[in-house]
Structure 1
Amino acid sequence: MFPLSHQCDYHLHSTASDGALPPAAVMHLAAEQGIRELALTDHDTFAGLSEARLAAQELNLTLIEGMEFSCNWQGMTIHLVALWPQGVTASAQELAAVQEQNRWQRAKRILEKLARAGIPLTLDEIVEKAGGRVPGRPHFAQVLVEQGHVKNHGQAFRKFLGAGKIGDVKSHWLEMDAALEDLLATEAFCILAHPLRYKLTRSKRVRLIKAFAAAGGQAMELVSGRQDVAQTASLLKLAEELGLKLSWGSDFHAPGPACPAPGNFAALPAACRPLSQLLA
């Protein structure tokens, strides 16, 4: 028996990338929130999947193995949620290893750019915040706050790390069409993540979604966290026009009021079906 759509969350993060909870704790929290089917989608890595898989089995959760894959489109970073319903393939592991190296290069490049701006951080400081794993921008933000360069995480992104700032390094990512080609070759099911989160005009957002579909993208995150009903309806209409399947999720990173908990997202239209049912 398949779970109901609102019992599914296909976009969750753990300490394997920039989340605050270990993978097993994410599984337990999701179960407490009434989630029965979910995907762990850490940024450009599968490092948390083994731990998540064991916890999901203990909790009788359906875990779809995944990753949030970084790429470029017209000069901006775009995220693709890639899922492997039958389990991660060997070629997917190889692609993830390349992405991890790209992330290490990006981290070093961010350090260089911050140093030129008069903020000399060290890689060891950043990696410590990432628990020894490849660091992301939230880990840079933690160190910037602790060293007094900014007052809080939000200011770190507004001044140094957000889109268009010195820490927004994109040069190491594949272009979206190439990323989709590589992911599809690994048997991934490819979803355009949170299309409403990118700082785009409505017309340019439509161009992004059409470009994604034209390059072989298979689904779109219709709902990501909290959003307006009218926004959901607009995305649904476009997805239907382009033949894109539907996904959704909280984009959970950490407990607390600033981040939606697993399963905490806007109302889903009747057209949404659990992915295990859709991909069976």
Structure 2
Amino acid sequence: MTELYDLHCHSNASDGTLSPTELVLRAHQQGVTSLALTDHDTTAGLPEAQLCAEATGIKLIPGIELSTNWQDKCFHIVGLGIDPAYLPLSEATHNLQSTRLERAEKIALKLEKKRIPGAFEAVKKAAGEGMITRTHFADFLLSQNHVSTQQEAFDRYLGKGKAAYVSTSWAELELAISWITGAGGVAVLAHPLRYKLTANWMKRLLTVFKDAGGQGIEVITSRINADEIRMAAAYATRFELAGSMGSDFHNVSNQWVELGRLAPLPQNIKPVWELLG
């Protein structure tokens, strides 16, 4: 059987729309054989996902996607093969829940000042027991016809420097990596080209990332072209990082992003799954 890996996706434990069970079932339908559930700053969806994975025969890799700060910039670090019960990590996710709740209250207040009331109650209900993210606010703005697309919500209200943007202090990058490695996991820099860094900034970031214990970088993501794959692979080679691949799937309505619909990892790149137990 051909192995098909998808090592980056989200359930409704964070800002995805599918439950962990629905997500695993969809991955199974798409032919995925190894799936990492990497919800934002939480591992709450992992027990449910594991039960479904055992029933379908998918190998579930326990994961998380942590928001981090470095040099006043935000970077996302995926942790693969983690032990969710590792105390520093579980304590961190609890604290991150509080951070996201406080940010949500501030965003809602800014929207109210723009004569858009009711946001906090709506996003809290939509998130349920999961993490509140800016995507929940984008969905709210879309549902109230303040914008016509999710992207417009970020462009007009939620993006950096926009009317409802709230700057947030996340964990320092090195600390977040220590939580992942302490939990027995592999730290992977998520979607590296999305940060729009210059080559010099990327060199600085990857040097710090590797010195802190980072071992992988996403080489293959959804909607990536051949030139971008070559660029990400070059970073993997230069910094001796294992290559990861993940769709960053959130919902079924985005026809361009699907579980398992990924280009192959370049043959000269060491696969990150070889580092997983």
Could you state the TM-score of these two structures normalised by the residue count of structure 1? 0.90
How far did residue 35 of structure 1 move? 0.6
CA contact (8 A) 1:79 1:192 kept: yes
Residue of structure 1 in register with 2:95 after alignment:
98
- Residues 66-104 of structure 1 show CA distances to partners (whole Å, capped at 9, x for unaligned) of 11101112222211101235x423322222112212211
Stretches of structure 1 that go unaligned for 5 or more consecutive residues are none
Structure 2: how far apart are the matches of 1:148 and 1:247? 38
Which residue of 84, 89, 92 maps to 1:88? 84
How far did residue 179 of structure 1 move? 2.0
Structure 2: how far apart are the matches of 1:174 and 1:257? 30
Structure 2: how far apart are the matches of 1:70 and 1:42? 11
Which residue of 121, 126, 130 maps to 1:129? 126
Residue of structure 2 in register with 1:37 after alignment:
34
Which residue of 178, 181, 185 maps to 1:181? 178
In the alignment, residue 96 of structure 2 is paired with which amino acid? Q
- Fraction of identical pairs, as percent: 37
Which residue of 260, 263, 267 maps to 2:257? 260
**Runs of 4 or more above 6 Å deviation:** none
Structure 2: how far apart are the matches of 1:117 and 1:207? 39
CA contact (8 A) 2:193 2:232 kept: no
How far did residue 28 of structure 1 move? 0.9
Cα separation, partners in 2 of 1:116 and 1:207, compared to 1, 3 Å = farther
Structure 1: how far apart are the matches of 2:6 and 2:148? 33
Residue of structure 2 in register with 1:270 after alignment:
267
How far did residue 257 of structure 1 move? 4.2
How far did residue 250 of structure 1 move? 0.6
Stretches of structure 2 that go unaligned for 5 or more consecutive residues are none
Structure 2: how far apart are the matches of 1:11 and 1:132? 21
Cα separation, partners in 2 of 1:213 and 1:169, compared to 1, 3 Å = farther
Instruction: Determine whether 1:196 maps to 2:193.
Output: yes
Instruction: Determine whether 1:113 maps to 2:147.
Output: no
Could you state the TM-score of these two structures normalised by the residue count of structure 2? 0.91
Instruction: Determine whether 1:152 maps to 2:139.
Output: no
How far did residue 154 of structure 1 move? 1.6
Q: Would you say how many aligned residue pairs link Structure 1 and Structure 2?
A: 276
- Residues 32-76 of structure 1 show CA distances to partners (whole Å, capped at 9, x for unaligned) of 111101100011111111110000000111111011101112222
- Residues 247-270 of structure 1 show CA distances to partners (whole Å, capped at 9, x for unaligned) of 111111111344411111233211
Q: CA RMSD in A?
A: 2.1
Q: Secondary structure at the match of 2:69?
A: strand
- Residues 119-167 of structure 1 show CA distances to partners (whole Å, capped at 9, x for unaligned) of 3334221111223433111111121122232222121111011233244
Cα separation, partners in 2 of 1:73 and 1:118, compared to 1, 3 Å = farther
